[in-house]
Amino acid sequence: MSLRLRLTVLYSALTGGILLLFGILIYALVSILFIKQVDDTLQQTFEDILSNTRVDSVGELSILTLPQLDLTANVYIQVWDANGRLVTSSAGIRGLAQPLDPVGLQSGQPIYRYHFLGQAHLRVLTVPLVVGTDRRPVGAIQLASNLNFIDAARTVLLQVIALIAMLSMVLAAVASWFTIGRALSPLAAVTQTALKISRADDLSMRIPSPAIENDEIGELIQAFNDTLERLERLFTSQQRFLADVSHELRTPLTVIKGNVELMRKMGCTDEESLSSIEDETDRMNRLVGDLLLEAQAESGKLPLKFGPVELDTLLLEVCKEMRVLARERVQLKVSEIDQVLVNGDADRLKQVLINLISNAVKFTPPGGEVVLSLGKVGDQARLIVHDTGPGIPAEDLPHIFERFYRAEKSRSRAKTGGFGLGLSIAYWIVTHHGGRIEVDSKEGEGTTFRIWLPLLTGDGETPLAA
């Protein structure tokens, strides 16, 4: 059974059930009101009769006059003496010699009862008559009203209620079928799109989202489209990753293979070839290490051991190590530095500093300079790495933090160029410290990287990054 049919049956059943319950309450209320009206009429008639009833000295009942009853009241009267003889009766039942309610006549107290007399359904009030302090019984009065008209009215009412409930269920079913079908129609689009994607392996397809409706189905479609977009980026990144890894590994493997073949042909150990093999092996080791680090970062399995870190001390330590790389070719200096304490992983933050400063040193031409500065801006620590290198083209700036992305100027420098993973890893580390990393660059004017990290407050907590 489809969801549409199940919901239609459910709504129809609920509608019919509510109407039937409401109808039963109305039926019960109308029945109670009818019977109460009959009982009040019988009681009032009895009081009129009692005011005209006398008992003589020997205990014989005598009825002066019976009340003038309205024909619509439909009340029948019988008066019985203590010996069970019928004293008098109303005009409509003069020929009836049996009691209106034989069981009620035996009762010693006033009682209302239902009784069938032939085809007539009666509501009978039996009231014993007593006199004296000893409450000596002298007879009884029975008053009855025919309920056939009320029974017929209640039957018609019950039929009308059932008919209305059935018609309402049919109308509810039709309305629910079309309304639910319209509401669930986007789900059919979701299913068709998913099947098309499965058959065509095309993650670029999207489900048309409703322009006006902002309900749960609209949110589902939006979430599904967001998932498709994320999957598309993931598979595209994976394809680019495989292509880039293949490209990066092809060069060192070709060099190693060529050197090995050369050594075999020469039949001797060539120191230059061995050195080249060693360099390419180290390069592949660095590539594999960076790939492992990147994979751990993306899977969330890269551990970060947070604790108080003196960022100024860490910067001076990295600067001292990078001066060995800069030698006399590039001037590495610290323009300003302030005492800065952050909450973070010292090893990972050092990795970020080494990556940014080493890149600045590598791509700064001889005679250039790399300037470092560290200070506080509000509740943020700001670290600046500026170089006077060739700069990064404007079209490359939005992509430099992507995995394996390298600007053309970097690609042309095979010896010093990396694999395009360092900035991606640095970006991940900084963002997971609650900070951000920015870059400004113009061709021919150098590049500036800015790292923003939240300061460690006095209570040992790091404020959330804006």
> Domain locations in the chain?
3-154, 216-299, 307-454
| CATH architecture of the domain covering 216-299 | Orthogonal Bundle (1.10)
Tell me what pLDDT residue 463 has: 45
Type and span of the H or E element at 283? helix 271-299
**What is the percent of the chain with per-residue pLDDT over 90, rounded to a whole number?**
25
pLDDT at 422 over 90: no
How many whole angstroms from its chain centre is CA 63? 81
Query: For residue 341, which of 455, 236, 211, 213 has the smallest C-alpha distance?
Result: 455
pLDDT category at 108 given cuts 50, 70, 90 is confident
Tally of residues, the chain: 466
Q: How far apart are CA 228 and CA 311, in angstroms?
A: 41
Q: pLDDT (tens digit, 9 = 90+) per residue, 303-351?
A: 788 899 999 999 999 998 888 888 888 999 999 999 999 999 998 899 8
**Across 12-26, 139-153, 164-178, 396-410, least confident range:** 396-410
Q: Are 343 and 306 in contact (CB under 8 A)?
A: yes
Q: How confident is the model at residue 180 (pLDDT cuts 50, 70, 90)?
A: confident
Higher pLDDT, 146 or 72: 146
Segment among 59-73, 106-120, 251-265, 280-294 with least mean pLDDT: 59-73
Question: Does 287 score more than 80 pLDDT?
Answer: no
* Residue type (1 letter), 59: G
pLDDT at 64 over 70: no
Residues paired with residue 37 on neighbouring β-strands, in sequence order: none
Dist CA 334 CA 162 (whole Å): 92
Q: Which of 231-240, 268-277, 402-411 has the lowest mean pLDDT?
A: 402-411
Question: What are the φ/ψ torsions at residue 304 (nearest 5 degrees)?
Answer: -125, 120
Cα separation of 151 and 119, whole Å?
12
Using CA atoms, how far apart are residues 224 and 130, in angstroms rounded to an integer? 88
What pLDDT is stored for residue 65 in this prediction?
56
Q: By the 8 A CB rule, do 401 and 427 touch?
A: yes
**Cα–Cα distance for residue pair 297/321, rounded to 1 Å:** 26
**334/353 Cα distance (integer angstroms):** 13
- Assess contact for 187 and 221: CB atoms under 8 A: no
Q: Angle of helix 422-431 relative to helix 271-299, nearest 10 degrees?
A: 30
Closest CA to 185 of 152, 210, 155, 151: 210
pLDDT value for 71:
40
Confidence of residue 89 (pLDDT cuts 50, 70, 90): confident
Residue 460's pLDDT is what?
53
With H, G, I as helix, E, B as strand and everything else as coil, classify residue 318.
helix
Contact present, 203 and 196 (Cβ < 8 Å): no
pLDDT at 341: 94
Q: Residue 286: which pLDDT band, with cuts at 50, 70 and 90?
A: low
pTM: 0.47
pLDDT of residue 4: 82
φ, ψ at 231 (rounded to 5°): -65, -40
Mean pLDDT, range 377-391, rounded to an integer: 92
| pLDDT recorded at residue 420 | 60
User: Which CATH architecture fits 307-454?
Assistant: 2-Layer Sandwich (3.30)
The pair of three-digit structure tokens given for residue 198, joined into one six-digit string: 């499965």
DSSP-assigned beta bridge partners for residue 77 = 143
Q: How would residue 1 be classed by pLDDT, with cut points 50, 70 and 90?
A: confident
Q: Tell me, what's the pLDDT at 416? A: 44
| Euclidean distance between the first and the last CA atom of the chain, given in angstroms as a whole number | 51
The region of weakest confidence among 80-84, 200-204, 267-271, 357-361 is: 267-271
Smallest CA-to-CA distance from 396 within 443, 452, 444 is with 443
Inform me whether the pLDDT recorded for 435 exceeds 80.
yes
Residue that is written with structure tokens 């005009």 in the block: 91
More confident residue, 418 or 352: 352
What's residue 466's pLDDT? 36
Average pLDDT over residues 133-160: 87
Supply 180's token pair. 């639910």
pLDDT of residue 239 exceeding 80, the answer is no
**How far is C-alpha 255 from the chain's CA centre?**
57
Confidence of residue 425 (pLDDT cuts 50, 70, 90): confident
Share of the chain above pLDDT 70, in %: 77
Task: Give yes or no for residue 436 having a pLDDT over 90.
Answer: yes
Contacts of 71 (CB under 8 A, 6+ apart): none
Q: Do domains 3-154 and 307-454 have the same CATH topology?
A: no
Report the pLDDT value the prediction gives residue 155, as an integer from 0 to 100. Answer: 92
**300 — pLDDT class (breaks 50, 70, 90):** low
Token pair recorded at residue 96: 């009836």
Winning range, highest mean pLDDT, from 85-89, 96-100, 428-432, 451-455: 451-455
Please state, in angstroms and rounded to a whole number, the distance separating the CA atoms of residues 242 and 186: 37
Q: Which residue has the higher pLDDT, 148 or 51?
A: 148
Asked whether the beta carbons of 100 and 140 are under 8 A apart, the reply is no
E strands present in 26-104: 53-55, 61-63, 75-81, 86-89
Residues 6+ apart with CB under 8 A from 106: none
Q: Which CATH architecture has domain 3-154?
A: 2-Layer Sandwich (3.30)
d(C-alpha 420, C-alpha 408), whole Å: 11
- Mean confidence (pLDDT) of the chain: 80
Q: Cα separation of 232 and 274, whole Å?
A: 43
Greater model confidence, 277 or 9: 9
Q: Look at residues 192, 196, 190 and name the one whose alpha carbon lies nearest to residue 221.
A: 190
- Distance CA(388)–CA(365), nearest Å, equals 8
Residue whose token pair is 């459910």? 10
